[in-house]
Structure 1
Amino acid sequence: MRIVSLVPSATETLFALGLGEHVAAVTHECDFPADARNLPKVTRDVIGPGLRPDEIDRAVRELTEQGRSIYQLDGVSLRDLKPDLIVTQALCSVCAVSVDDVRAIAAEMDPVPQIVSLDPHTLGEVLGDVRTLAQATDAKDAGVDLVQDAAARIDRVRLAVREAPRVRVAMLEWLDPVFVGGHWVPQLIEYAGGVDLLGLAGEPSVQRSWEEVAAARPEVVIVAPCGYDVERGRLEAYDYADRLHALGAQKIVIADACGWFSRPGPRLVEGLEWLGHALHPDLVPEPPGGVVTL
């Protein structure tokens, strides 16, 4: 089977299912696991590098208002690859190429490949997508094992913090303008022994003001700029350190958003384990790399 993955989280899931040798091409954003970085790329970023957070936000808004994607799909390369399966998504126009563009190109291919479009909004739906990909690739046993392992790790964190006082949390997934995490993020915070003060489980991330975040009186602020690793997140946090400290939280921590929260794949469980320790360090074991604070 030849698979083209147009979603970084799907790439991670396919490799976790043991299907890496069947992945023929990925997106320019697919950087995990390391083997995915060496695969052919069939997308590129329209916006380009080197912009400030507010400039990125403005560019994304302008493109989406024009009905354009921020990612460009290389249709010629996609056709040449002759995939049996294309994995895409309809969840977020900022995160991947347009599913409509994918379907239009696939319809002109001979034979027409199978398309699996993922659209998870909760942690349960993310695990459901693991089953969907396992079913589509005849990797059912690997899918069962992956889901069972994730469920066991989730339960360990939830049991560890079940008697602990809830910690008031604000997770910021962009800093200029401020966006708070949605979809599966509030659920992860709840499972980790916290209360998400600003996000709604299963709903998209929403824009808030710095004043609204301060008024919510968070005890812990998590800086997790969408798509950034912990080092890039740390640099962003330093740039906005005055505003972050003005929120009055007891602790400001920097997350690997790209690995643990932005992508709805298997590593969300690592994010939960990291969250559990960040909120309740005496109850949940310290994760590899520890917790970076501002």
Structure 2
Amino acid sequence: MGPRRIVCLTEEPTETLYALGEQDRIVGISGFTVRPPVARKEKPKVSAFTSAKVGEILKLQPDFVVGFSDIQADIAAELVRNGIEVWIANHRSVDGILGYIRRLGALVGVAERANAYADELQRGLDHIAEAAARLPRRPKVYFEEWDEPLITGIRWVAELVRIAGGDDVFPERSVESLAKQRILEDASEVVRRAPDIILGSWCGKKFRPGKVAARPGWDAIPAVRDGELHEIKSPMILQPGPAALTDGVGAIAAVIRDWAVRHG
């Protein structure tokens, strides 16, 4: 049977459980949830990312709470002290996302369905990788997660860029799990690495290509010179869940494919 009353402190367990047809188990969600859209309409919002309405969560009488990363450690600890079973996942890679889906499915008693869904997502990634292998050129890609300060892309993003046919220009930073470890102290380092494409996904606000292009010295970057500055909507790429492996990588692949056609 598995747990019957689940609170999701971030979006990816909500999206996963809906995809598995187990949405009736969800009794509370994150206020940042946008996928699937129906979840915002039918589920109470009881958490942000770094904070939560613990009293409201307790009123929902959950038998299982799902969260993500060390950033939610304090929320988890308070819930545990109140007798709630909590699972905090900490996956940061494409394989980690697929494994997360399988584990969450197993924890709620639908392992077979979750495995089939993860296999389907893997096939989608394989299809994108096969198409990318036929492109005439691979662009160098700079992914910007935030602008003040500049923060480069996390590991699953760099991996999805690679699957889609590009090469992340800060691979050594992508393996750092914490955003503070991916802060660029010197913006001119982007100029030196000369990306062909700049992808922006500023969490919670609209990416502004004009503002990026106007940075001192950035007019020398091929991506700026050629107008290759593109937004990838943050809900589809910055959550380590199904969205990144479907719409997120699809959007990246479309940008890279169009670039390759123009520059091949």
How many equivalent residue pairs? Answer: 245
Deviations 1:13-38 (A, max 9, x none): 12111111111001111121112112
1:167 aligns with 2:139: yes
Corresponding position of 2:20: 17
Q: Which protein, 1 or 2, shows the higher relative CO under an 8 Å CA cutoff with sep ≥ 6?
A: 2
CA distance in 2, matches of 1:193, 1:166: 6
Task: Name the SS of the counterpart of 1:71 in structure 2.
Answer: coil
**Residue 178 of structure 1: aligned partner:** 150
Residues 1:122 and 2:96 aligned together: no
Alignment partner, residue 72 of structure 1: 51
Distance (whole Å) between structure 2 residues aligned to residue 194 and residue 72 of structure 1: 36
**1:258-288 C-alpha deviation (Å, 9 max, x unpaired):** 21x210010112211221221123889xxxx
Whole-Å separation in 2 of the counterparts to 1:19 and 1:227:
28
Corresponding residue of 1:54? none
Give ranges in structure 1 of 5+ residues lacking alignment: 45-69, 285-294
Going from structure 1 to structure 2, the CA distance change for 1:182 and 1:71 (only over 3 Å counts) comes to: closer
What is the deviation of 1:227?
4.1
Distance 1:226 1:138 in 2: 33
Residue 33 of structure 1: aligned partner: 36
TM (norm. structure 1) is 0.77
- In the alignment, does 2:35 pair up with 1:43? no
The secondary structure found in structure 2 opposite 1:26 is strand
In structure 2, what residue type is equivalent to 1:178?
Answer: L
Alpha carbons of structure 1 residues 283 and 166: separation in structure 2 relative to 1, 3 Å = closer
2:116 to 131, 134, 145: 145
Matches within 5 A, 1:99-248: 99-109=73-83, 113-164=84-135, 165-200=137-172, 201-204=174-177, 205=179, 206-208=182-184, 209-228=186-205, 232-233=206-207, 236-243=208-215, 245=219, 247-248=221-222
Give 5+ residue unaligned stretches, structure 2.
none
1:267 to 243, 249, 252: 243
The alignment yields a C-alpha RMSD, in angstroms, of 2.1
* 248 and 176 in structure 1: CA distance in 2 versus 1, 3 angstrom threshold: farther
Percent of matched pairs sharing the same residue: 23
Change (3 A) 1:198 1:283: closer
The structure whose residues are more often helix, as a share, is 2
- Distance in 2 (CA, whole Å) between partners of 1:273 and 1:283 is 15
Report SS of the residue matched to 2:146: strand
Please give the secondary structure, in 2, of the residue aligned with 1:73. coil
Q: Deviations over 1:158-209 (max 9, x none)?
A: 1111143221111111112211102211111111111111144432351123
Structure 1 pair 237–281 and aligned structure 2 pair: CA distance change class (3 A): closer
Q: State the 1:136 CA deviation.
A: 0.8
Normalising by structure 2, report the TM-score.
0.85
